[in-house]
């Protein structure tokens, strides 16, 4: 496990350079966050950590990729946890959001559509979406739930693997000399800051783009231990990609049935979500002493021998 600062700096430098250059395209071209073209750029940005990791490992350091990125397709129960836990997080977040002053339950999705308008989506597009959802044979929430779970384990997971090969594959191993919780915080800080250009353009916090940068960093720091934990317990970065894809797929459920609040207070990436993630981290800390005080390298080595 190479602990060369040069290798780490090369990966971080390449990832940020490639990602932030791509992320600047929508701003330069006047593309808004609700447009399809913006989503295409966002997907492309998600592959930059993987591309950078492969470039550093294979081209710069001339080292084999096998084992360096944590890829394994051997199924175990942690893959199922990675797929379904985000749904529980979304429901729990909705419950916490309802405790926020001024937030109420909104089964008719009126709060959801109001949030889209406040986020900058044109009124005519919101109305078109409202008409489409009202024509569904069952409530749009349940359709979104099924679609989110399906996407989480398929297309979302495939795209999220572009990030996870870099963060929980390459970077987690390169920080293997650090203890589990310390490495999780470092990766979370880097991961959160990496989102900054897209957050400033409306990702997750369209009402508060500047404050959203700091909120996103806090979100990633609190989410990072769960991602590292799933990656280590499953012995595969693919499971972390499923967790990532599922959060992206079902996270929006946490705001579909509420009205009031804003992007800093409600939802998975708001304060409500941060509270739930803090509870999840506390559970991991209290219930699994096997990772407490141990380095990532030791945990990976132990898991490899099983």
Q: What is the rounded CA–CA span in Å between residue 170 and residue 148?
A: 27
Beta carbons within 10 angstroms of residue 262's beta carbon:
19
The Cα-based distances of 54 to 8, 14, 47, 105, 156 in angstroms read: 13, 11, 11, 46, 21
Tokens standing for residue 115: 């949030």
Tens digits of pLDDT across the chain (306 residues): 445 788 999 999 999 999 999 999 999 999 988 899 999 999 999 999 999 999 999 988 888 888 889 999 999 999 999 999 999 999 999 999 999 999 999 999 999 999 999 888 899 999 999 999 999 999 999 999 999 999 999 999 999 999 999 999 999 999 999 999 999 999 999 999 999 999 999 999 999 999 999 999 999 999 999 999 999 999 999 999 999 999 999 999 999 999 999 999 999 999 999 999 999 999 999 999 989 889 999 998 877 656
Nearest to 119 by CA among 252, 22, 219: 252
Q: Crossing angle for the helix pair 140-153 and 155-164, nearest 10 degrees?
A: 50
Integer Cα distance of 165 and 157 in angstroms: 12
What pLDDT, on the 0 to 100 scale, is given for residue 243? 98
Cα–Cα distance measured from residue 12 to residue 286, given in angstroms and rounded to the nearest whole number:
32
């Amino acid at each position: 496990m190479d602990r060369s600062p040069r290798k780490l700096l090369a990966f971080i430098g390449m990832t940020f350079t490639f990602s932030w250059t791509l992320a600047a395209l929508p701003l330069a071209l006047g593309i808004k966050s609700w447009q399809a073209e913006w989503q295409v750029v966002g997907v492309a940005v998600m592959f930059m950590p993987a591309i950078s990791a492969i470039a550093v490992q294979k081209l710069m350091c001339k080292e084999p990729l096998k084992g360096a990125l944590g890829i394994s397709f051997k199924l175990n129960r942690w893959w199922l946890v990675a797929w379904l836990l985000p749904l529980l997080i979304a429901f729990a977040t909705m419950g916490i959001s309802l405790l926020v002053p001024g937030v109420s339950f909104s089964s008719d999705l009126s709060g959801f559509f109001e949030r889209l308008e406040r986020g900058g989506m044109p009124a005519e597009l919101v109305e078109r979406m409202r008409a489409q959802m009202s024509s569904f044979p069952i409530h749009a929430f349940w359709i979104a739930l099924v679609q989110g779970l399906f996407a989480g384990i398929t297309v979302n997971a495939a795209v999220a693997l572009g990030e996870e090969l870099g963060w929980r594959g390459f970077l987690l191993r390169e920080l293997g000399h650090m203890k589990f919780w310390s490495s999780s915080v470092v990766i979370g800080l880097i991961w959160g800051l990496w989102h900054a250009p897209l957050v400033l353009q409306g990702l997750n916090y369209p009402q508060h783009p500047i404050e959203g940068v700091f909120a996103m960093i806090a979100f990633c720091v609190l989410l990072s231990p769960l991602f590292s934990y799933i990656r280590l317990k499953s012995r595969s970065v693919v499971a972390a990609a499923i967790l990532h894809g599922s959060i992206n797929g079902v996270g929006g459920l946490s705001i579909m049935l509420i009205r009031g609040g804003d992007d800093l207070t409600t939802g998975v990436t708001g304060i409500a979500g941060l509270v739930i993630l803090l509870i999840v981290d506390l559970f991991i800390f209290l219930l699994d002493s096997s990772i407490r005080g141990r380095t990532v390298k030791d945990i990976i080595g132990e898991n490899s021998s099983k």
